[in-house]
Each structure stands twice: as C-alpha cells, then as structure tokens.
Amino acid sequence: MANSLSLNEQLRFEADTFLTKQCEPLPQYQQVLLHIIGSYNRQTAQSSQNDQMMQYQAILFMKNSLTRLLQQHRNRKRYTRLGMHHQQVYASGLNSNVTDTLNNLDGMPPAMNQQKQLTQEFQDDLKAKILALIQNPDDCILGENAYNQLIRVACIFVKQDFPSNWVQLNQWLLKTFEDLFANINSLQTEDAPRIQRFLSFYFQVLKEQNKKKLSTQKGHFNKVARDHLRCVFKVWEFFNQQQMRMIYDLENDALNLNNYNKLLFEIAAKLDKCLMLVIACGFSLNDLLHEPVDNQYVQVLKQLLKKLKFFTQCVEKLSACSDTNPELASSFHDIFENQLKSLLKHLNDLQVSEALLFHKTLGEYIHAVAQIIFRGELHITRVKKLALYTMYSIVTTTIYNQGNQECSSSGNRDGKIGLLISPMKFKNFEPQLIEASQQYRQMMEMPDPNSAEPLEQNRYDGARQLVQLLFQ
C-alpha cells in the first residue's frame, strides 16, 4: 500500500498490479483495507500528510475493488441463469458444447472460480463497518477528501441494497433528522460542519436512489418515502425561515443583508436539494390516487415554489440598491442566482418526470418562471436558459395544453405521465388532469371578454406575450 504512493512510477505500477491481481481475490483484502482506514485516531494523535494519503489510498482501493467485485457478482448471477437455460437446451439435444461456450463468454467469470464470490454475510459485515465510519468520521477519518471517497464507497451498496436490504442505514438517516429537529433550538455555530457533512452524505444517497429506474427498485423507497418527507421537511422549514429572515425584512418588505450567515445559508440551500430529491424519489401517481386532497407532496411543492418566487423578488430588490454598494450587491447577486439556478433545475426535473404533481400549482409555477424570463436583464445567462427550458418543458407537456380528452381517447402517453399506460387509467386522475389544464389555459390563453366565466375574461394571455418577447 505504501509503495502505491511512491513517486517512482515503476514501483507504483508494480504495487498497484500486485494489490489488484494478487490481493483483491482474497476474502481478507476488504477487511485489511477497512482496518487501515479505521486504524487512525484523530483524538489521540495529530495525523501527518502521509497518514492522510495512506487512508485516502485505502478508501480509493476499496471503492475500485468493490465496484469490480460487485460487477463480477452480478455477472455470476447472469452466468448462473444463463447456464441453467443452456443446460435445458443441452438436455434437449440442441447444443452439445454448452459448458465450453459459457466459459468463453466475455465478461463471465469461470464456473469454478469461487474466490471472489460475495456472500450476503460478507456484504452485511462490510456495510455495517462502513456505516460506522460514516456515522463517526471525527474519530478516524482524516480530511474531507477521504470522507468524500468513503461516501462513494457507501453509495456502491446504496445502489443495490438501499433501503430494503440496508435497513440500518435507513433507520440512522431518519433518526438523525429526528434528533436534529429535537435539538434544533439549541444548535451552535460549531455544529454547522457536522450538519453539512451529514446532509452531503444524505444528498448523495438520494442522488443514487434517484438513478434507479426499475419500478421494483423505486417501490422499495416509496414505502419509506413519506417518513423521509416528514423528517426532512420539518428541518427544512426551520432553516428556510432562518434563511429568509437573515436576508429580508418582512415587516418593511425590503432586503436586510446585515444578518447574513454563510454557514446557515448553505445548510438551508443543501436542504432545498435534499427535499426536492425526496419528492423525486418518493412521489408516484399512487400517492395522488390514494391521497387526492391535501397530498403531502403537493403541499411541500407549494412551499418550494414560494421559495423560488422569494429569491426572484430578492434579485429584483437587489437591483434597486446596486448603485449604493456595488460590491455587496454583486456578491449577493451571485448567491441569489445560485439559489434560483438550483431551484429551477430540480423543479424542472420534477415537472418533466411527474407532470401531475403540479396540478395544483401549475399557474403559480408558470407565473414564477415567466417573471424570470421577462426580467432577463437581472439574471445571469445560466438562470435565463434554465427558465426558458423550464417554460419549454411546460408548454410541450400534452396533458397541460390539450387537456385529457385527446389522451383519454387515443391513449397517448408522450412520456409525461409516468405510470399511466392505458386510457382507462386516465380516468383515475380526471380531476387532476382537468385542474392542470385549466390552470395552463388561464395563464397562456387569450382573455375572452364575451365569456360568462370571470376566469376566462381575466386570462393572462401568456403565450402571446412570450412570442412578442422573442421578437424584441
């Protein structure tokens, strides 16, 4: 391991080859790496740069080794299933050389090679030890880079086991949020790095979970998603209020940047991302079917849209006072724009994947995005592009601009409805489809002065205004 850090390229290559080819197949290899990682004690001795590099290297080798081993483990499962299939073919007399053929398949391990087989007990032991290091990094993890690599090691198991086969991790995440909320009024400034580190890990877990596309994989998290939504939202609500108060005077309706706290602001920003990922991972149309009124996900989404409008308003207020203190205005403009960029990106992802989630808030969402587009001179290019793309995503969503009649008659999905796969299933969501369509028409269509309906008389004519903006 020490030679793998050598400045001598030949020595480093030989050490890497030896560890990968000779040591990695041994069952004890992962245990030895864990021993190296956990052997340092930050409480008793000051770590040297060499210690940090050694620990970082051990974590890096573990990550790469586990990635290869789990890939081989999955290949072995496919090999076994394929072998059983070809054995049936062989028994029928259709192929007389099945074993030789299978053993020569690219990417398939030899049938007799059992050294690298990952038993469930071995994986459970690894997960328990990795989780212990994640929970108490201050005891032995040397440096932020090592901790970030350790998160990636944990996410290897999150990819295949969380939450159903890694219950301990799920319980710890929920308990940490519960404990954080219980002690939220007694938090000190020195607690901020610990909270940020936990939220960074939680965010990476959710990002890995959000990559899962199979309904069975997503279904496991759906069972615990409401617990996560409840726990995260309580903490988010507190830090969201603190974030707003530190930059805005609600009584006088004016910016007040004197109380800005960077640590608290960054925690609130990270919680925004975590909360939106909880919705992305946990929401399904089944939730809307079982809870059509006052749906928790829809209610949380309303709060996130309020925050989008809040930071849009902050940018507009900031432009009015940019002449008095241009340096301060410039620094806070970057901060507010980063908030808008993050909110727009994640909200657009939600709208594209689950269009009916916005059935209660579509009009408000369109208005907030249009406000950014029409005041483009106040925003950076990235935010303007995101706002335009968000509007494009909205206007190309069939269920918004055509209602549910055409979809119901033709069975057209256009990729926007997720689980809806037949015209009959649209009938389960007719109220939501109608409401979303009405809100879209209210914002985008021309007013009708001859109509008996007050709403139709006061439509916003947003489509015409957007077209006019293109020609300015």
Q: Which two tokens stand for residue 444?
A: 């985008």
Distance CA 188, CA 181 (A): 14
Q: Which two tokens stand for residue 337?
A: 């724009």
| Number of C-beta neighbours around residue 416 at 10 A | 20
409 in a structural domain: no
User: Which phi and psi angles does 448 have, rounded to 5°?
Assistant: -115, 100
188 in a structural domain: yes
Q: Are 369 and 387 in contact (CB under 8 A)?
A: yes
Count how many domains the chain has.
Answer: 4
Q: What is the mean pLDDT of each run of 10 residues along the chain (472 residues)?
A: 82 88 84 86 65 88 88 69 55 43 39 52 90 89 88 93 94 97 93 95 97 87 96 97 94 91 96 97 90 93 97 93 84 96 97 94 96 94 96 90 50 40 60 90 91 88 87 72
User: Which phi and psi angles does 248 have, rounded to 5°?
Assistant: -140, 135
Q: Are 366 and 444 in contact (CB under 8 A)?
A: yes
Query: 255 pairs with which residues across the strands?
Result: 248
Q: Are residues 237 and 353 in the same domain?
A: no
245 in a structural domain: yes
Q: Are residues 211 and 232 in the same domain?
A: yes
Q: Are residues 381 and 456 in the same domain?
A: no
Q: In the listed set 131, 161, 191, which residue is the last one of a domain according to the structure?
A: 161
95 in a structural domain: no
Q: Are residues 156 and 185 in the same domain?
A: no
184 in a structural domain: yes
Q: Are residues 262 and 172 in the same domain?
A: yes
Burial of 52 (0-12, 13-18, 19+ CB in 10 A): middle
Q: Are residues 271 and 378 in the same domain?
A: no
137 in a structural domain: yes
Q: In the listed set 283, 301, 331, which residue is the last one of a domain according to the structure?
A: 283
Q: Are residues 228 and 252 in the same domain?
A: yes
Q: Are residues 150 and 172 in the same domain?
A: no
442 in a structural domain: yes
pLDDT given at position 215: 83
305 in a structural domain: no
Q: Are residues 26 and 136 in the same domain?
A: yes
Parent domain of 439: 429-470
Q: Are residues 28 and 157 in the same domain?
A: yes
Angle between helices 120-135 and 144-161 (to 10 degrees): 140
Q: Are 137 and 184 in contact (CB under 8 A)?
A: no
Distance of CA 432 to the CA centre of its chain: 26
Q: Are residues 459 and 386 in the same domain?
A: no
Q: Are residues 233 and 325 in the same domain?
A: no
Predicted model pTM: 0.85
Q: In the listed set 255, 283, 311, which residue is the last one of a domain according to the structure?
A: 283
